[in-house]
Each structure stands twice: as structure tokens, then as C-alpha cells.
């Protein structure tokens, strides 16, 4: 009985995740300067805590912010359109792992009150964003496992 609904659940999950990434990218792209300030805060903090090489990226914060937004939108649209699904899912998994690391870092560094994940559209605390990322990681892992077992 469940098997007949399985493709529908699979496709709905892909649509939901794809639309989420499109929404996230568009919300950040609506205020790219604000998002680039968040990127600058991360880079400055990384330079102080991890390595000074992150200071070299400071002049490019706006470009990095735009690239992240565009990447989220493009990958989200590709997932919604079912283009190169497995490659897109792997890229989204990598992006989500990276964002989860950033969110964990934000939680550890108590001086940051927001990670800038969904811009000001839906303000999330770092803990809420971390939970959101864990849910995304579980869903993406399930999708990758399912698509790889279908092949």
C-alpha cells in the first residue's frame, strides 16, 4: 500500500526542498548588502579564530554573497525541474553540511544573534537554523539513498 505512494512522497520531498532553496536564495538576494555583511562577520570571525587568510576574502564579501544566493536558486530550480537530480542532491547536501557547520559556529560564537539564513523574511535564531539544517540533512540523505537504490 505504501509502495504505490512512494514516488509521490519522493517527488513532493524534492519539490519542497527545491522550493525552500529557491525561497532562501531569493530572500537573501532581495537584500544582498545585508547578506554580504553577514558574510563579512563570518570571515572576520574565522580570521580571528581559525586563520588570518580569511582576511584576504574580505574585499569579496559581496561577490561571495551573490554567488551563494545564485547557487541556492539554481540548485533549487534544478531540483524542482528534476534536472540532474542526483548531482543536485549531492551539491545540496554539501551546501547544507557547510551551512550546518556555519550555524554550529554561530551557536558557539554567542556574539552572533542571527545566521542570515533566510534574511529578514523569517528571522531564525542560530539554534532554530541548526535544527532546520539537521532536518534538511536527514531529508537530503534519505533522498540520495532512495535515488541511489532506484538506479
Domain region containing 57: 2-150
Q: Which residues of 19-58 are buried (b: 16+ CB within 10 A; e: fewer)?
A: ebbbbbbebbbeebeebbebbbbbbebbbeeeeeebeebe
Query: Tens digit of pLDDT for each residue in 84-136?
Result: 999 999 999 999 998 898 888 878 876 666 656 665 667 778 888 889 999 99
Query: Tens digit of pLDDT for each residue in 28-37?
Result: 899 888 888 8
- What is the domain count for the chain? 1
Q: For the ranges 12-26, 76-90, 110-124, which has the lowest average pLDDT?
A: 110-124
Tell me the whole-structure pTM to 2 decimals. 0.86
Predicted confidence band at 6 (pLDDT cuts at 50, 70, 90)?
Answer: low
Higher pLDDT, 22 or 42: 22
Amino acid at each position: 500500500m505504501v509502495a504505490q505512494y512512494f514516488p509521490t512522497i519522493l517527488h513532493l520531498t524534492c519539490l519542497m526542498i527545491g522550493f525552500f532553496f529557491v525561497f532562501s536564495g531569493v530572500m537573501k538576494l532581495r537584500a544582498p548588502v545585508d547578506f554580504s555583511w553577514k558574510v563579512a562577520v563570518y570571515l572576520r570571525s574565522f580570521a580571528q579564530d581559525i586563520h588570518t587568510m580569511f582576511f584576504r576574502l574580505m574585499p569579496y564579501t559581496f561577490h561571495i554573497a551573490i554567488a551563494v544566493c545564485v547557487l541556492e536558486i539554481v540548485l533549487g530550480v534544478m531540483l524542482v525541474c528534476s534536472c540532474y537530480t542526483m548531482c543536485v542532491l549531492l551539491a545540496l547536501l554539501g551546501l547544507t553540511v557547510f551551512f550546518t557547520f556555519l550555524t554550529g559556529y554561530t551557536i558557539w560564537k554567542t556574539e552572533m544573534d542571527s545566521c542570515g539564513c533566510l534574511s529578514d523574511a523569517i528571522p531564525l535564531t542560530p539554534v532554530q537554523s541548526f535544527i532546520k539544517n539537521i532536518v534538511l540533512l536527514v531529508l537530503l540523505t534519505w533522498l540520495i539513498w532512495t535515488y541511489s537504490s532506484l538506479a
